[in-house]
Amino acid sequence: MSNLAKDEIVFCINCIQSNYPGIWSDTPEKIKDLLFDIYDENVELSIVEELCNQRIIEEDEYAIVFSNYGYR
């Protein structure tokens, strides 16, 4: 079980997909293995599957979303 929060896992997944593109990170299983190999975190496959298509929202994007929709 991982000690990372979901936003930390998303960050790690984004880093893995950036640094190991294509066949190295094209499935949740491969990403799970790389999370263990690189970060020494044993993340459950179901969590990796849930988070692998999310990306980190950039600060500029956040400002646009907040200015358009505010706090809800």
**Which secondary-structure segment (H or E) carries 60?**
helix 59-69
pLDDT of residue 65: 59
User: pTM for this one?
Assistant: 0.73
Matching residue, tokens 């299983």: 29
Structure tokens at 11: 């960050």
Length of the chain: 72
Cα R_g (the chain), whole angstroms: 14
Residue 52 belongs to some domain of the structure: yes
- Count CB neighbours of 61 within 10 A: 11
Judged against a pLDDT cut of 50, whether residue 72 lies above it is answered with: no
Residue 1 belongs to some domain of the structure: no
Residue numbers of the domain that contains 53: 6-69
Please check whether residue 2 is in contact with residue 10, taking contact to mean a CB–CB distance below 8 angstroms: no
In the chain, how many domains are there? 1
